Each structure stands twice: as structure tokens, then as C-alpha cells.
Amino acid sequence: MVRVIIIGYMGAGKTTVGRGLAKALGVPFYDLDWYITERYRKKVPEIFAEKGEEGFRDLERRMLHEVAEFENIVLSCGGGTPCFFDNMEYMNSLAETIYLKASPEILDAHLKVAKGARPLLQGKDDQERYEYIKESLQEREPFYMKARHVIDIGLLENYEKVDECVALIREMLKI
């Protein structure tokens, strides 16, 4: 049985790498934010606006407990998922967890071109976005480092880089 959970900061490439890994392994891919959106028929920013971060994090934890029990999957989690409740310990008890580690500069470069609203980055200019990434990554890193495996990723500027990352994960996990 294969159960892989990918974690990391927003913009690290969790969804892109996770989708590539799932395809290579021939198993379903789930993105926790998308799963929440499908179940609640609302986008994450809407849920954030309605329930606040605390309400969203509670809902996120419940959905994590639901989807992480599925067998033969690759799951990518939102950037904050490992940092709340006992989520990281729970994920480690069920799956091979992989932290896609990236520098603030790489994350900023990815987020500059990323599509989709990021509730925590709303209304920030380039400098404020970079400073926010740098500070919050520092706070979250201790949680991320609890993952069973850590991969230092560079700029995922093309599919070749994504494929290299997927190959590295397969080699590391022997799958």
C-alpha cells in the first residue's frame, strides 16, 4: 500500500509534485484544499472569510482525518496544515511524509506567478509578501521538519524539474 503526504510552505510545489508522483505511481491524487472546496462547495478564501483562520483550521483537521485514511493515494496539504493541532504527528503515523523545503526567495518566485488567491497574502506588495514569507516560514519550519523525509527543492520552472523531484521521491521511498 502506498500513502504519501506532501507538506511545505504555500508555493513550494506540493500540488504540482504530488500530481506528478501520483501519476507515476498510478494512484489517485488529492489536494486537501481542493477536497475541502468540493465537500463544502466553497473556496478556501470564502471559508477563511466566514469562519476565520481558527474555524478553517478545525475544518481542515477534520478533513485531513477523513482523506488521510484513504489507501493508495498521494495527498498534498495546505501550507499551514502541519502547524496546527497534532496534524503532523497524525500524518507521520499514517504515511510517508515529505517536506518540500524551499528558500524564501524560491517561494516568493513561485508565488509571484502562481494563480489563485492566497488568503494570507491578500493586499501585500512585493516587499511585504517576501517579508511575510520569510517570517512565517521561520515559524512553520519546526513543524515541517518533523516530516519523515525532506527534499530541498529549487525553482520548479519546468516539467523537467518536477519530473526530477518525482524521481528523487520515488528513489528515496523505494516506490
CA–CA gap between residue 170 and residue 175 (Å, rounded): 5
Question: What pTM was estimated for this model as a whole?
Answer: 0.93
What are 78's three cell numbers? Answer: 495546505
Using alpha carbons, list the distances in angstroms from residue 56 to 6, 33, 74, 109, 160. 20, 11, 22, 27, 35
- The one-digit pLDDT tens for each residue of the chain (175 residues) are 999 999 999 989 999 999 999 999 999 999 999 999 999 999 988 998 999 999 999 999 999 999 999 999 999 999 999 999 999 999 999 999 999 999 999 999 888 877 566 767 878 888 999 999 999 999 999 999 999 999 998 767 778 999 999 999 999 999 9
Residue 45: what pLDDT? 86
DSSP 84: S
What are 43's three cell numbers? Answer: 473556496
Domains detected in the chain: 3-173 (3.40.50.300)
Q: Is 158 exposed, middle or buried (0-12, 13-18, 19+ CB in 10 A)?
A: exposed
DSSP 134: H
Q: Is 87 exposed, middle or buried (0-12, 13-18, 19+ CB in 10 A)?
A: buried
Q: Is the dihedral of CA 27, 32, 34, 38 positive or negative?
A: positive
CA–CA gap between residue 83 and residue 33 (Å, rounded): 15
DSSP 158: S
DSSP 80: T
